């Protein structure tokens, strides 16, 4: 824990957040990679469970 406190008055608000096309592609790639990683993780855990039959 640090000795600094969160001061809400010193935080700038972000209004009308607009992404450039390059930033949009980057965000889509990051989200897609994250979804793919979770899907692979889920499938590997699902396949490694022993069957009950």
pLDDT given for residue 3 in this prediction: 59
pLDDT digits (tens, 9 = 90+) for 18-48: 889 999 999 999 999 999 999 988 888 777 6
Band (pLDDT 50/70/90 cuts) for residue 52 is low
Residue identified by tokens 């469970």 is 49
Distance CA(37)–CA(35), nearest Å, equals: 5
pTM (predicted TM-score): 0.52
pLDDT given for residue 18 in this prediction: 82
């Amino acid at each position: 824990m640090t000795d600094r406190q969160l001061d809400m008055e010193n935080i700038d608000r972000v209004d009308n957040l607009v992404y450039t096309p390059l930033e949009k592609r980057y965000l889509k790639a990051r989200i897609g990679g994250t979804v793919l990683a979770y899907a692979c993780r889920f499938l590997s855990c699902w396949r490694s469970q022993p069957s009950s039959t």
